[in-house]
Structures are given as C-alpha cells and as structure tokens.
Amino acid sequence: MRTLFRIGCLGILWASTLQAGTNLLTNGDFEGGSLGRLGTVSIPGWNSWGGSGWHHSDTGACLGSKGMKFWWDDSGLWQDFAALEGLTYSFRVQVMDWSGDTSSNNWDFRIEAEFYTAAHTAIVKQVVGYFDSSVQPNDTWIEIGGTITAPAGTAYGRVVLRLWDWKSGISGSIYFDNVSVTIQKTADYNNDFHIDYEDYLRLSRFWRQTAPEYDLNDDNFIDISDLALFVQDWLMWQEPADAKAIWVDSTVAYQEIEGIGASLTDSSAWLLHQFLTPTERQDVLTDLFDPSAGIGLNYLRQPMGASDFRLQDYTYDDLPANVNSDYLLAYFSIAYEESSIIPTLQQILAINPNVRIMGSPWSPPAWMKTSGQLGGGRLKNDVYGTYANYFVKYIQAYAAHGIPVDAVTLQNEPYYEPWTYPGCRMEPADQIRLVKELGAAFQQNQIAAKILIWDHNWDNPDFPLAVLSDPIARQYIAGTAFHHYGGDVSAQTTVHNAYPDKAIYFTEGSDGTWNDGGFEADLIRNGVFLVETLRNWAKTVIKWNLALDENNGPKIAGGCDTCYGVITINRSTRQVTPRPQYYALGHASKYLQRGAVRIQSESETLRSVAFQNPDHSIVLYAVNPDAVGYTIKLQWNGRRLLSRIPSRSIMTFRWNGDAPSKADRLLTTGDGQSLLQPLPPVFFYNGS
C-alpha cells in the first residue's frame, strides 16, 4: 500500500511511487515565531492549556534549531486542521527524555487524534501514540504516532499533545519536535481497497485541475505525473497491516434460524389497527415485515389473552357472573382479539407469508386458578386436561382466521407471580404434568405446533433441565425459551449441551428507560445482544412490544410502564420513529431467509455471527463496539475482502456462496448518520 506522510524533519520513501506528504499543521517543527513559556508568549499555530507547564528549547536537545519541552503535569498543546471523512491521516511526533535535563523518569507523553463535526461535536478521540519516560532510553529520539481514518460527518480534525500523568515528583522534562499530520494518500479513491476503473473515473474527473485529495505527487495539480503513479497500482489490492480479521467457515454448521421479530401485544395492535389510518398502517407494516421494502421481521410471539400491555384484562374463557367453571370450554372465544389483533396479524401475513406465530399465555382463565383471578396463583389440580384443550381450541380458532400457530410456550415467566396484571406461578413438576397433557392433546387433534418450556430468564437453567429430565415429558418438548432480564446468555448453551436435540429459543427482551443509554449505546447493546444470543444456540430472537406510543402505552395499570416498543408511534404528531432495536434486528432479518443456518465465524476485536441461507448466500453480522473504526479483512473459502467498519456501528455483509465476486453491505452507525444504509459492494480476491 502506498503511504505518504512526513515524519518530523525526515523524508522517508516507502515505495518507488512515494512522495513526501504535506504537513497539515502550522509550525509543526516550532521553528517560526516568537517561542516562549506558555501563558507568557504565544506559540504560532497552537492553542494550549496549563500555563506553567511547558516552554520552548533551543538547546542541543532538539532536532532543529528549536523545539519544545513539557516539564509539569496537566499541560498540553492542540491545533486544528481541515479534514475530510473517509481519508486516512497519519499523526507523528518525535519525543525524547534528555539526560542533560534533570529527570526523575516520571512522565507519560501522548499524541491524540480527534475529529469533529461542523457543529463542533467530537466524533472520535483516540490516543495514537504513547511515550513512557520510565522505559525509554535517555537521549534517544523516539517517533510515536499512528494512523486513523476520519469517520463519517467529519468537518475538521485536531492533534493534541499532552503530558498525561504525573507519576511522582516534579522534576524533569519531555522534549518533543517535528509534529505532523499528513494524509496517507493512495490511488484507492473510493476506499474499497482496490485500484480499479472506479478510481480512474474519480481521478480523470479532476484532470488538469487542483484537487489535493486526488493529487498523488503533492504538486496540488492533477496531470500526467499523477496518472503515471496511478497506473503503477492498477488492479492492486490495498490491504492495511492493521486490518481486523474475520474468519467465516460454511463447512461448520450449528442451529437453524427460525425467525427474528417481536410481539404484537394488545397495546401494539390497537395503535397499529385502531389509531393509524389504513394507508399509514400499510406503510408501517410493510416497513416492519417486507424483506425488500422493509426490514423483513418474520416471527411474532403473541400473548394468549391479556399480558401487562393490554387495554383490558381478558382470557379466552371468561365466565358470566353466575357461572363458576367451564370444564367443557363452552364459553371459549377469541372475539376480543378480532377487533385489532387478528386483522393486524392477517395484514402482516399478507405482506410476508413467512411470518411465524408463537402463542404464550400470561394467565389461564381465572376460574382455573387457585387465586380465582388473573393475577397470581397457580393452576388448580383438576384443570390440567381442560387447560390443554384450551391450547387446542386457541390454535384451531386462529387457524380458522388463516393464522397458523407455529409454537406455544406453557407459561410466560412461570417464576414471577404478579398480582397487578395477569400471571401464574408454575414449578417444574407443574410443567412436566402440563406437557404430558398438552402433548397428548396435540397428537389427538393432529396439531403440529411445537411445545416450549420455561419462557423465563437466563438466571435459572435448572428449571428447564428439571423438566427435560422427565423422559415422558421430554418426548413432547421441542425446546426451551429464554428471556434476558436476569442471568447470563451462557445459560442457553448450558441447557443445549445437556439436551442437544432440544432447541433453544429467545422469546422476550425489552428495551426501556432502565437501559436507555441513548441511540448509540442502545444500538451497540442490541447488536451485541443479538450476536451473543444467536451464538448461544437461539433459533429465534424476539423482542417485546412491536409498537408503543410516546408514553410507553396505551395500557391499563399494572406491569411495565417504562418499556419501549421496536417503533414509537407518537399519538400527538403521528410520527413513527424506529428505536435502536429496530436497526439491530433489521440488520439480521433483512438478509436472513427462513431456514438459514448459523455457521462458524471468529473475529478479532469485532463481535460477529454468520449464516448460510437456503439459497446458499452467506450473511455476516458484525458489530464494532469500540470508539474507533477498523478495516475488516473478511476471509472465507480461500478468498477475502476488505471493508471499513466505522466506530460504534453495525454492518451486515451478504454474498453468493456458490460463485462470489462481491458482497453487499448494510450499515448503521451510532451517530445516526447511516441507518440501514446500503453501501457500494466490496469485492473478493484470492488469498487467505
């Protein structure tokens, strides 16, 4: 890779095409102007803090006729320069601990790179070079620094020199000289790491013009000499030495992915079906569920009756005041859900027929419970068979509306017994008994819906392990469902390893005021959560409410008042706002097909998970949680590609697994500048 920059007062050629880069700083060698102690005489081109902390030097300790030295803690210099996003900048400074000056070897000196928006908001602040006087030899000039690519939104950059840490004592000094910030120029003008026709088009567009960013020989003019340098790199790959590797191996397969989605609660359905106009509703649902025009969510976990997000309490078998029981389920009805929930589900299935439905009860009917109400209590001893038939009738009633039910869980959060909204306590023995009744009832009625146990937090894997230990119950169980409100995601792997033939599902996790760190933090948290959940064997990733209003409702009292929806529908302005979880989910759901299989992936620094779709395309989901951007070197099947991933961002790649030439990309950045933005494709080349 051609690299052009100036190091202090030295000119260094790294390749035959290399020319000395232009220092973007004013007075980087401190030779010009009237130099003196900070706070007394200004240093041309520089700003400063720490008035007693440093001064100039014109002794033999400097590289040129003048230099600078720090001799006190908490002092520094800084200077701004014009910068363009996407360009790579080299920051350099020469540093020395001079034995001719009394020194206690107690100083840390750093050079920092910063980039800012036009509104003077910092995008990146990164230490790119570090000098520790306690470990460096005296009287030896050391060059420190590094390179960094200006992120999206950059308007200008800043170099900062600072005495970082006062370890002990106050004597001694650090000398420094020849500070430079230069552009690392390359003929790869579009930053796809390949010198090709697209780069030539950019170069030729500025023929015989002034265009510093396209000028390869630093004469500030585009002419035949720049073209001569350009052709030397024609069809060359530019691979940075510090690229972060990601290895994808499609020969090693794990679990099949059944879906990514959320829950159409009573609150969500009312907002979508009753509040929005038909046109607004169609637009919102298309954006949520259409994989081409939207993000392609394809799994919904539906409360069987009321959850805490409801406009009223109800079940499918609520009795008149003069009736105490209904063992024949004569009063069974899903009529309440026919006003908002059922028609919304039908509209979703019309948009995306691949959407699957999971049913989860928050409470059995009150007459079936020891508490006699929807909040609290347990199943009565004599209703297990009846309750199994209740599930059967629910599945049959939904099927009559054209809504197939793919799976059911036995009870939402069986180890939480709320009294202010529907809930029911269940012990492992209760679920063992209910599974046996439900499995037999499903077989008798030829129902293929999967039966899932637990449906609660990661912090109690002993519960599903106890249920799965019963050999009769185990034959009816498809898998274990988990939530994320307690414990560690590794619980999923613990249960998988004990019973590898039983699937793992992640069925509920909400964002809310308790974990709201702002868009950037929430985007990265959701991205890392998705990666770790899928890498721990989950076949589904299902968030909680699909849509809520600006007040985290509408809902009646009881349960969570601080939960967020995947989208927010403001009932005052009618504005629909996707939340960070929308983008984190969309980076997976938009590219993953039904039946995709997780495959092996490993990465340096980044968090990633990879899949192979039924059409053989490969999908890589990568999260950069760090405050700096990286170059990714993606290696697959003897080929590799290069791509930049910005700081605090999620990027998804997709390529043809049979004959790959290029990979499509989606990008969402924590600063909100890119939101599921398609990027130009990047190309594969041979090599590992």
Q: What is the pLDDT of residue 293?
A: 96
The per-residue pLDDT for range 230-281, each reduced to its tens digit, is 887 777 777 777 789 999 999 999 999 999 999 999 999 999 999 999 999 9
Predicted local confidence at residue 18, as pLDDT: 30
At 49 the three-state DSSP class reads strand
pLDDT of 243 reads 84
Q: Which residue segments constitute the domains of the chain, with CATH numbers given?
A: 47-183 (2.60.120.260), 197-232 (no CATH), 244-253+599-686 (2.60.40.1180), 258-591 (3.20.20.80)
What integer pLDDT is reported at residue 538 of this predicted model? 98
The three-state (H, E, C) secondary structure of 497-533, written as one string:
HHCCCCEEEEEECCCEHHHCCCHHHHHHHHHHHHHHH
Which residue do the tokens 């199943």 mark? 379
Q: How do residues 536-570 score in pLDDT, each as one tens digit? A: 999 999 999 999 999 999 999 999 999 999 999 99
Q: How high is the pLDDT of residue 1? A: 28
CB contact set of 462 (below 8 Å; sequence gap of 6+): none
DSSP label of 233:
T
DSSP of 84-135: -TT-EEEEEEEEE--TTS---S-EEEEEEEEEE-TT--EEEEEEEEEEETTT
pLDDT for res 523? 98
Query: Which segments of the chain have a pLDDT < 70?
Result: 1-21, 32-42, 50-67, 69-74, 100-107, 164-172, 687-688
- Distance, in Å, from the CA atom of 129 to the CA atom of 111, rounded to the nearest integer, reads 5
Residue 489 and residue 536 in contact, taking contact as beta carbons nearer than 8 Å = yes
Residue 64: its pLDDT value, please?
Answer: 66
DSSP assigned state of 193: S
